């Protein structure tokens, strides 16, 4: 069938919105009509050429929501008409990783996902007979896409697509990093580096779990009001403090008898490896945990003095907020519908697919929190 898609034709080049061909679902696969898709920084990261797994031409996009149109042979858990959120972290419930109960990183189809193809090693997308790669197993920058059955979460039908698409990555990542990965407790002191589409969700989850002190750090002063809107208690612009950021932050967290200072939890939501080091070193001696959410480019490495770890700080990372997609995503949709978490104010811009490059520009210039393409 012919579908409308934004094709990434090469690193650093604008997406080309055009008609491409999509084959129907094979065994264990589903065809989904994508109704809306968010634009995440990670799409930009791959388009920029920084992603070691980046392939071109490809149909990017991993933050979608839509409706099942057709199912392939053997599909049992979903049917045409079901509302779903595509999962770049699938949940097969059978692989050693799923069965371990120690991780959400299902490994059953990760290898083919990284090669830009479906689990059978072929692509469903083409243009004029030439293959186009899938991306993160989702390719939501198209009005129809094909996904493995294990890579969709069935969600309630009264939830608006143009909002819950954000649960396909940003919301779940930020909220899950706090609840699943860090397991932040009430009364904690936390620092969030980078107040974009992910960082603001970290902040709203910190408020939800009852953190006492929520410090937001961003080089863009416009983010102060945004952070406060979701529960941030203090804002720091590192370019305006006139000294080193780490001692400045540690000093802010000193309280009463505890004159050592440092946060109980810090979160990197920038993808900048220097910021990741600052985030670790701003943790409290003895117990502080720093969670890396940001994704950094090929060849980049993190470093610190081993002393930082010897003295009890812990470095952790999280993908998709540690969420098991088919199990947890429907619950997060419920939280949104019940008013426990906010999404609407973070979706600052909506646009048709034809304007998707403007959506990337808005994100890149710090003007949007989340841009959403509505089909």
Query: Could you list the active site residues?
Result: 40-42, 62-63, 92, 95, 98, 106, 110, 169, 370
Q: Does 40 bind Zn ion (CB under 5 A)?
A: yes
Looking at beta carbons only, is 33 or 361 nearer to ligand NAD?
361
Q: Does 52 bind ligand AHE (CB under 6 A)?
A: yes
Residue whose token pair is 């812990």: 314
In whole angstroms, the minimum distance from the beta carbon of 371 to Zn ion comes to: 13
Tokens, residue 353: 């697919």
Q: Does 42 bind Zn ion (CB under 5 A)?
A: yes
Q: Does 103 bind ligand NAD (CB under 6 A)?
A: no
The answer to whether the bond into 278 is cis (omega within 30° of 0) is no
Looking at beta carbons only, is 69 or 105 nearer to ligand AHE?
105
Restricted to residues 353-372, the positions that interact with ligand NAD (CB under 6 A) are: 363, 366
3-state class of 233 per DSSP?
coil
Restricted to residues 151-170, the positions that interact with Zn ion (CB under 5 A) are: 169
3-state class of 185 per DSSP?
coil
In whole angstroms, the minimum distance from the beta carbon of 47 to Zn ion comes to: 13
Check if the beta carbon of residue 231 is closer than 8 Å to that of residue 214: yes
Answer for which of 123, 173, 181, 290 binds ligand NAD (CB under 6 A) is 173
In whole angstroms, the minimum distance from the beta carbon of 127 to ligand AHE comes to: 24
Q: CA torsion angle for 117, 63, 273, 286 (degrees, to 10)?
A: -110
159-169 in b/e form (b: 16+ CB < 10 A) is bebbbbbbbbb
Each residue 70-109 as x (binds ligand AHE by CB under 6 A) or -, in order, gives: -------------------x---------------x----
Tokens, residue 218: 């961003």
Q: CA torsion angle for 374, 160, 75, 5 (degrees, to 10)?
A: 0
**Rounded Cα gap, residues 203 and 318, in angstroms:** 16
Restricted to residues 315-354, the positions that interact with ligand NAD (CB under 6 A) are: 318-320
Check if the beta carbon of residue 139 is closer than 8 Å to that of residue 371: no
Answer for which of 40, 276, 346, 363 binds ligand AHE (CB under 6 A) is 40
User: Around Cβ 295, how many Cβ atoms within 10 Å?
Assistant: 17
Q: Does 199 bind ligand NAD (CB under 6 A)?
A: yes
In whole angstroms, the minimum distance from the beta carbon of 324 to ligand AHE comes to: 13
- In terms of phi and psi (left: phi > 0; alpha: psi -120 to 50; beta: otherwise), the region of 207 is alpha
Q: CA torsion angle for 268, 269, 274, 279 (degrees, to 10)?
A: -20
Q: Which does 208 bind (CB under 5 to 8 A by kind): ligand NAD, ligand AHE, Zn ion, none?
A: none
The residues of the shown chain that bind ligand AHE, judged by CB under 6 A, are: 40, 42, 51-53, 89, 105, 110, 169, 295, 319-320
Binding site for ligand NAD (CB under 6 A): 40-42, 45, 169-170, 173, 193-199, 217-220, 223, 238, 269-272, 275, 293-295, 318-320, 363, 366
């Amino acid at each position: 069938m012919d579908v409308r898609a934004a094709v990434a034709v090469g690193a650093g080049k604008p997406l080309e919105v055009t008609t491409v061909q999509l084959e129907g679902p094979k065994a264990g696969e589903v065809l989904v009509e994508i109704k809306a898709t968010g634009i995440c920084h990670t799409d930009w990261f791959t388009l920029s050429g920084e992603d070691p797994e980046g392939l071109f031409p490809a149909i990017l996009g991993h933050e979608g929501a839509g409706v099942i149109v057709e199912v392939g042979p053997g599909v049992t858990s979903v049917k045409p008409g079901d509302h779903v959120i595509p999962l770049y972290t699938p949940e097969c419930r059978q692989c050693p990783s799923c069965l371990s109960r120690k991780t959400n990183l299902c490994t059953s189809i990760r290898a083919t996902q990284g090669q830009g193809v479906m689990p059978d090693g072929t692509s469903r997308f083409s243009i004029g007979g030439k293959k186009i790669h899938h991306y993160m197993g989702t390719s939501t920058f198209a009005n129809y896409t094909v996904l493995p059955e294990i890579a969709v979460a069935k969600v309630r039908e009264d939830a608006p697509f143009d909002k819950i698409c954000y649960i396909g990555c940003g919301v779940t990542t930020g909220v899950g990093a706090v609840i699943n990965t860090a397991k932040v407790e009430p009364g904690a002191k936390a620092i969030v580096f980078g107040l974009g589409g992910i960082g603001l969700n970290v902040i709203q989850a910190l408020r939800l779990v009852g953190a006492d002190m929520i410090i937001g750090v961003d080089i863009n002063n416009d983010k102060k009001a945004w952070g406060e809107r979701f529960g941030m208690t203090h804002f720091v612009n590192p370019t305006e403090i006139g000294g080193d950021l780490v001692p400045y932050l540690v000093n802010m967290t000193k309280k009463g008898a505890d004159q050592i200072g440092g946060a109980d939890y810090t979160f990197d939501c920038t993808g900048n490896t220097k910021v990741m080091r600052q985030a670790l070193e701003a943790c409290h001696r003895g117990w502080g945990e720093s969670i890396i959410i940001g994704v950094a480019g090929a060849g980049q490495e993190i470093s610190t003095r081993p002393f930082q770890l010897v003295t009890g700080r812990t470095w952790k990372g999280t993908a998709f907020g540690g969420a098991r997609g088919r199990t947890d995503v429907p619950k997060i949709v419920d939280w949104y519908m019940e008013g426990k978490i906010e999404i609407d104010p973070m979706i600052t811009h909506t646009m048709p697919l034809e304007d998707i490059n403007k959506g990337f520009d808005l994100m890149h210039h710090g003007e949007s929190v989340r841009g959403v393409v509505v089909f």
